[in-house]
Chain A
Amino acid sequence: MKWSRIYALFVARNLEFVRDRSSLAWNLLLPVLIIIGFAYAFNNENPEKFKVGLVVHGELQGAAAKFRETRYIKFIEFDDADSNLTKVERHQIDLLFDAASKRYWINRSSPNGYIVEKLLIAAYADSPESLQKSLVEGDEIRYIDWVIPGVIGMNIMWGALFGIGYVIVRYRKFGVLKRISATPVTAMEFLSAQILSRLWLLLLVNVAIYVGMDLFIDFRMYGSYLNLLLVFVLGSVNLICCGLVVAARISSEEVANGLLNLFSWPMMFLSGVWFSLEGAHPLMQKFALLLPLTHVTEAARAIMIDGDGLLQIADHLLVLGLSSVVLLWIGARIFRWE
């Protein structure tokens, strides 16, 4: 590998990207418009008015079963209480109830929690003293705090998949790749330059978007910026490599477009960008774990909302890192200049 060749291709690709003003504007504006549109349209309102976490093993009996039948409350079942207390702290659920011990947790500052508590006590009208109340504290996670890591991840996904996939297919279709293949440049040098250029541009654009949004929207960021950057770098590399695999052989923009959409739309809706997969069908949750954007979104959310460190998100980083290596290997193996 000769760095001078990689550098030459890197510079040329950067110039192409920066000078294609309509594409650049789209890359910068789209995520901002999405965030403004969705965040303020939802205005922190969840479609389900109340959410209750139920720790339950087996069939519910008596008052607990009666409470479970309350309409207009979304009940989410959990295996244990301890690992789900943070959801009460963050106002993701309004009340957590352990049916076996009859213990419940509400957030001191949650109005919804107050109302749902009244409904629980009403269900246990015969023996209200059997219920044990516990209070937790924590700031509310607004929808905008929750959605921003996902939207940045989604923007990276679009930029990576289409930015690299479409460009390579277009290069191949019009013979740019053929011309480069007639020089000493190797496939690995060409692909490395495309990855580096796209990575650098994605980070530049998304850091600009992050900083720009931070100026206007006071969103939550409790973790380390370096860790967040690491997640976005690994996520970008992974999604770029997905784009490389798609673009490795085909020379039709229409086919590329179809395949890239086939990759990106499931990630759009099943990676937890817009709504939590908590309570979704277990198969869907398992499928979501196969999608790189799920790991980017969850790791970024863990850093920004919970202030998690690298150890807590190590599993996401490992999945992204290892699958990037595999995808790059496949992409380089099956790559064709023509």
Chain B
Amino acid sequence: MSIILQVSDLVKRFGSLTAVDHVSFEICEGSCFGLLGPNGAGKTTTIEMMEGIRQPDSGTILYRGEPLGEQFRNEAGIMFQTTALQEFITVREIMRQFSRFYPHSASIDDLADRYALHEFLDRDTRKLSGGQKQRLLLAMALINRPRVLFLDEPTTGLDPQSRRNLWDQVQQVREQGATILLTTHYMEEAYELCDEIAIMDHGRIIAHDAPDALLAAHFNDVVVQIHAADIPRDIGEREFQAIYRNDSAHILTGDVNRTIAQLLHFDIPLDRLRIRARNLEDLFLELTGRELRA
């Protein structure tokens, strides 16, 4: 696959804070690339520089081998984390306005069909629900039939149904050949949608690979989860490497048979036992820590 976007040694400072610190990566055409990280990690600043909204202090961003220019503007679709729309105009009117910005644009009716906009096509943009607004913003980002689509935390604040629905729509866009760059807080979303992810923290990329490859590289254990009250605390601390969260005890083990044999040996009931593989959230917390970010 050819490289569609290439970021080299990108730096952005705000006063004494280095928000993006010598970041480099490449995105292959037709892939979905996820940029993950805690609040303030530099994801949005990075994506905004790649969108051409913000100027980097140093470093280069190339689209199809060229600096961002007219071709990029015409071929990029962008959905920001938060966007206010012009007031007192309808969904149809705002889509018509945006379609006129581009030399080639998709049919408004086709987009309305695909993203279920018909029921509110003639409604004032101020009167849309959160899910409806996200669908409209996605449709607006796709109005120029983009070759590269930027989605900055597209499902933040959505209910589970709307989130699933948006994932399906993003998958459809991908199937049509567009390249997607996604930032998200939801690890499940990144795992579901992305071919490749980069985890950022303090302005730097601290891990970068395909999700399964990252998990394989960092973990060789699984989580055995049982009810915490069922384990006498002294036994747990002596025999297991366990993490207690609320009512659960999470035992990290590379040998499930041995762990279960131990639990049986101590007469610990297995009624509520769950075994799960390590996931991106575990990896994310392991790499970025558990302290709360502003």
Contact = CB atoms under 8 A, between A and B. Distances in A.
A179 B125 CA distance: 15
Contact of B101 (A15, A176, A184, A337): A184
A42 interface: no
Given A11-B93, A179-B140, A337-B53, 6 more contacts: A7-B100, A12-B89, A12-B94, A176-B84, A182-B80, A183-B102
Interface in A120-165: none
A338 interface: yes
B87 A184 contact: no
Interface in B76-133: 76, 78, 80, 82-89, 93-94, 96-98, 100-102
Contact of A178 (B53, B76, B97): B53
Given A15-B89, A184-B102, A175 B83 contact: yes
A15 B74 CA distance: 26
B86 A178 contact: no
Interface string B43-56: 00000000111100
Contacts of B291: none
Interface string A2-13: 001101110111
Nearest to A176: B84
Given A12-B93, A12-B94, A16-B88, A182 B100 contact: no
B83 A179 contact: yes
A176 B85 contact: yes
B87 A16 contact: yes
A185 interface: yes
B271 interface: no
B197 to A, nearest CB: 24
B13 interface: no
Q: Which 9 pairs across A and B sit closest by C-beta, in order of nearness? A: A174-B84, A8-B100, A19-B88, A182-B78, A184-B73, A183-B101, A8-B97, A16-B88, A12-B97
A174 B125 CA distance: 14
B70 interface: yes
A59 interface: no
A8 B96 contact: yes
A183 B73 contact: yes
A183 B86 contact: no
A175 B82 contact: yes
Interface string A71-83: 0000000000000
27 contacts: A4-B100, A5-B100, A8-B100, A12-B86, A12-B89, A12-B97, A15-B93, A16-B87, A19-B88, A19-B89, A174-B84, A175-B82, A175-B84, A176-B84, A178-B53, A179-B78, A179-B80, A179-B83, A181-B53, A182-B51, A182-B78, A183-B73, A183-B98, A183-B102, A183-B144, A184-B70, A338-B54
A218 interface: no
A337 B2 CA distance: 33
Interface of B: 51-54, 70, 73-74, 76, 78, 80, 82-89, 93-94, 96-98, 100-102, 140, 144
A26 to B, nearest CB: 15
Interface string A176-198: 10111111110000000000000
A48 interface: no
A181 B98 CA distance: 12
B62 to A, nearest CB: 18
B55 to A, nearest CB: 11
Contacts of B94: 12
Nearest to B100: A8
Contacts of A15: 88-89, 93
Interface residues of A, number: 26
A184 B74 CA distance: 6
Given A4-B100, A11-B97, A12-B94, A20 B83 contact: no
Contacts of B88: 15-16, 19-20
B101 A8 contact: yes
Nearest to A12: B97
A176 B82 CA distance: 10
Contacts of B54: 338
Contacts of A176: 83-86
B101 A5 contact: yes
A182 B143 CA distance: 13
Interface in A190-231: none
A11 B101 CA distance: 13
A110 B144 CA distance: 72
Contacts of B96: 8
Which one of B53, B88, B102, B144 has the highest number of Cβ atoms from chain A below 10 Å of its Cβ? B88
A178 B87 CA distance: 15
Contacts of A180: 101
A175 B73 CA distance: 18
Nearest to B87: A16
A15 B85 CA distance: 13
Nearest to B101: A183
Contact of B80 (A8, A16, A178, A183): A178
Nearest to A189: B101
B70 A20 contact: no
A174 B85 CA distance: 8
Contacts of B93: 11-12, 15
Nearest to A4: B100
Which one of A7, A174, A183 has the highest number of Cβ atoms from chain B below 10 Å of its Cβ? A183
Contacts of B53: 178, 181-182, 337-338
